[in-house]
Amino acid sequence: MSSSKLSPRESGAYIVENAKHVRILPAGIEKLTQEIVKGLIEKRIAVENFSQHELHPNPNPNQPEDYSKAADWVFVLDTLNFCFWTPDNYTKYKVDGYTGYFALCAAIKRAIKEGVDVINPKFYSQIDLKTLENIFRSDDGETVIPLLQKRLESLHEVGKVLIDKYDGSFENVIKKAEKSAVRLLDLVVEEFPCFRDEAEFAGKRVSILKRAQILVGDVWSCYKGQGLGYFNDIDQITMFADYRIPQVLAHFGSLEYTSELMEFLKTDTILENGDPREVEIRGASIYIIEQVRDAVVKILKEQHPEISLDNVNSIVIDQYLWDYRRRHNADLEHIPFHKVLSIYY
């Protein structure tokens, strides 16, 4: 991370320090910490949860081609992992009954089954709009995946870089990072402009890097923190700031909006990417999860030495809270969330 730009963890702290529209509540952080500790003790929070999902790649170390292909699969998913809602209906886009991010996963898996070489940069660096539209065709045959043109541009951009500089494989980007999650994060942001999720805030350049971090986190999760997925500094990756996790943080009472912001969010107005209100909500989310992570680690060290800390980080906490939101959707739906049409999340 260049010295003039704050890392996501530093950005979270700086944004909270200068925030005008959000407040952090320690009691809610404590409540969230207890929820996470309980989940870890009961093994509901685990690195294995990622590859156990039927729509995710599950690499087999005994099949070298299959093993490295999973990295290319994850790379395509996270290049396209943004904006699945349409302003009038958040769950209108469906593939095989799945909504949101899992609709994307279902579409990519369907394409692979149909023999489309969708995770090969030679294919997707030159894909045309019609082919891409067909890959993402929805259950109702009418709803088009949001921001289709932007997805096309993103695939062309990243595919060309992989071919020109990395011999057409994301595995080579991972290897260049030499087992450092932070180095991989920096490489992704340097090499692939569509992952540069940054903003100007209170006179500084802050970085949120939702998709770049989730890419590093997904590689780690996909390979269960081993082999290609082993990083010696995985604890440096923060949560992935989107528009859904803040609902969970508000639900637990760790994040509070000013009454003005709350009223604004209820109007369903679409914000511009980089709006200070958006930056504050996302920065506060990073800050809260970092506080929770630190508190969880302290409790486990003191009270549960039998639990290994190797896989206790902001990634698994984020994955748990993201699943929590989907499981408790009815309870959380009354909490409004910010809306931005963006390629960054």
Q: CA of 123: how far to CAs of 60, 109, 154, 247, in Å?
A: 24, 16, 13, 38
Among residues 176, 212, 224, the alpha carbon closest in space to that of 52 is found at 224
Q: How far apart are CA 190 and CA 212, in angstroms?
A: 10
Q: How far apart are CA 212 and CA 110, in angstroms?
A: 25
Residue 11 buriedness (CB in 10 A; 0-12 / 13-18 / 19+): buried
Q: How far apart are CA 105 and CA 171, in angstroms?
A: 20
Q: Which residues pair with 199 in a beta bridge?
A: 206
Neighbours of 72 (CB within 10 A): 20
Strands 255-257 and 204-207 turn out to be unpaired
- The C-alpha angle 223, 236, 306, rounded to 5 degrees, equals 70
Show which residues are catalytic. Answer: 242
